């Protein structure tokens, strides 16, 4: 389900249970503020996929927001896909306001998706 989201729209993500450096790196004080701001951006392509809100922006940036039913809700992921030295890379930042356990699990899921995406792209 989320794997499909990542393959469809390339981008970026965010992760932390503490409001520290990760908050600064995403540019918003919380998940709600990030969702409100990025969905209002010009050229934002907004879709719902299996309950997840996905916002694709120019420059290969993608925001992914957890559905209300997800154990790590509210969480936002910001991803940027880019090529460096001939290899695909995924910069992933995550901001998570749920329990540490739920946030760690979500981070693990996104790390697996990043690896799968890089492998897929390297074969193209």
- pLDDT reported for residue 60: 82
- pLDDT reported for residue 20: 39
Burial 46-66 (b: 16+ CB within 10 A, else e): eeeeeebbbbbbeebbbbbbb
- pLDDT reported for residue 66: 97
- pLDDT reported for residue 5: 41
Selection from 21, 1, 3, 26 nearest residue 79 by Cα: 26
Q: Are 116 and 3 in contact (CB under 8 A)?
A: yes
DSSP 56-115: EETTTEEEEE--TTSTT-SEEEEEEEEEETTEEEEEEEEEE-S-HHHHHHHHHHHHHHHH
- pLDDT reported for residue 118: 83
Structure tokens at 30: 């919380």
- pLDDT reported for residue 94: 92
- pLDDT reported for residue 83: 85
- pLDDT reported for residue 18: 37
- pLDDT reported for residue 25: 67
Burial 89-108 (b: 16+ CB within 10 A, else e): ebebbbbbbbeeebbeebbe
Q: What is the pLDDT along the chain (124 residues), one digit of tens a residue?
A: 444 444 333 333 333 333 334 444 678 999 999 999 999 999 999 999 999 999 999 888 999 999 999 999 999 999 998 888 988 888 889 999 999 999 999 999 999 998 898 888 888 7
């Amino acid at each position: 389900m989320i794997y499909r989201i990542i393959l469809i729209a390339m981008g970026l993500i965010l992760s932390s249970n503490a409001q520290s450096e990760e908050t600064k790196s995403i540019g918003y004080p919380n998940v709600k503020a990030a969702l409100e701001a990025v969905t209002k951006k010009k050229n934002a392509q907004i879709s719902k996929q299996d309950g997840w809100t996905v916002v694709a922006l120019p420059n290969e940036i993608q925001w992914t927001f957890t559905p209300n039913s997800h154990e790590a809700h509210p969480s936002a992921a910001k991803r940027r896909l880019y090529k460096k030295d001939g290899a695909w890379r995924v910069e992933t930042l995550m901001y998570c306001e749920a329990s540490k356990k739920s946030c760690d699990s979500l981070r693990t899921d996104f790390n697996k998706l990043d690896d799968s995406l890089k492998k897929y792209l390297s074969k193209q």
